[in-house]
Structure 1
Amino acid sequence: MTERVIHIATGLIRDSDGCVLLVRKRGTQAFMQPGGKIDAGETPVQALLRELEEELALRLRVGDVVDLGTFSAPAANEPGFEVQAALFAVTRAVEPKIQAEIEEMAWVDPAAPGDIVLAPLTRDYVLPLCAVLNAEGPMAETDCGDILTRLQNPS
């Protein structure tokens, strides 16, 4: 049986107001974090840096991103598949510019994203994480795991 998992690397990019950068690829409806598939022989970080340069003209270095963990959700654009996403926070201020397959980008308030269509990973993990991070203030990346545990297992 063929594996129905797509391995991707995605970037969590926030501005100084705590809004999250989301993109919509050409020919699709759902907004999601920028990033993409991990090529053979690539690490997740290498894939993320490549994808951010291709999609948004962002030239980042390994030291500009922090690993937030790996998350699984239904794929937004490939029915019957699941994405397994390595999520990284971009820690440097950026000025993205749409290119490649990106049709549209938007800075979204994670607590009130409005009526845009969101990818399941974005809706279920990324925006809730950002809303908590924004509410609790600056935190070390090690605190993100605790926040995600609380989001996934509310008591």
Structure 2
Amino acid sequence: MSVLIDTVAWVRMEGGRILCARPRGKGVFYIPGGKREGAETDLETLVREIKEELTVLLEPRTAVHVGTYEADVPDLPGGAVVRMSCYTADYEGTLAVSSEIEEMAWFSYADRPLVPPVDQLLFDDLKASGELD
């Protein structure tokens, strides 16, 4: 039986590019967000993770679900699958990397190979809808 990794991600688009972050000690960029803790809702998880990673406060009332994606995790044995529920939301504060994050960057579709398979599915949809350059 495969393991399901349940995550929530913040889709932040500006000027045809999407915000991505690279955690400390990792060589891969991800859509910002993370795993649910306990009985957290999607929005509770999202607000907590984005505050921890990028030091801004999301405004839950502005959150809009834009899609949920599932893909195999190539690095994990036993057929792990990651599910990523994606939301847009406005924020307060200034985007800045926290102690968890090494670097943040604004990616175009050309940067798709730098993100994991589940993130690539989101990139494909954003490209198809004309939102991602």
TM-score interval, smaller chain? 0.7 to 0.9
Structure that is richer in strand per residue: 2
Computing the radius of gyration over CA atoms, which structure comes out larger, 1 or 2?
1
**1:122 maps to what in 2?**
119
* 1:134 counterpart = 2:133: no
Q: Evaluate the alpha carbon distance shift between residue 37 and residue 71 of structure 1 in structure 2; reply closer, same or farther with a 3 A threshold.
A: same
- Using the aligned pairs only, state the percent identity: 28
**2:67 maps to what in 1?**
69
Please give the TM-score of this superposition, normalised by the length of structure 2.
Answer: 0.85
Secondary structure of residue in 2 paired with 1:63: helix
Structure-to-structure mapping, 1:46-57, within 5 angstroms: 46-57=44-55
Please give the TM-score of this superposition, normalised by the length of structure 1.
Answer: 0.74
Secondary structure of residue in 2 paired with 1:29: coil
What's the offset of the Cα at 1:93?
Answer: 8.2
* RMSD after superposition: 2.4
Give unpaired runs (5+ residues) of structure 2.
none
Q: Evaluate the alpha carbon distance shift between residue 94 and residue 109 of structure 1 in structure 2; reply closer, same or farther with a 3 A threshold.
A: farther
The answer to which structure, 1 or 2, has the higher relative contact order (CA under 8 A, 6+ apart) is: 2
Give unpaired runs (5+ residues) of structure 1.
137-155
Aligned length: 131
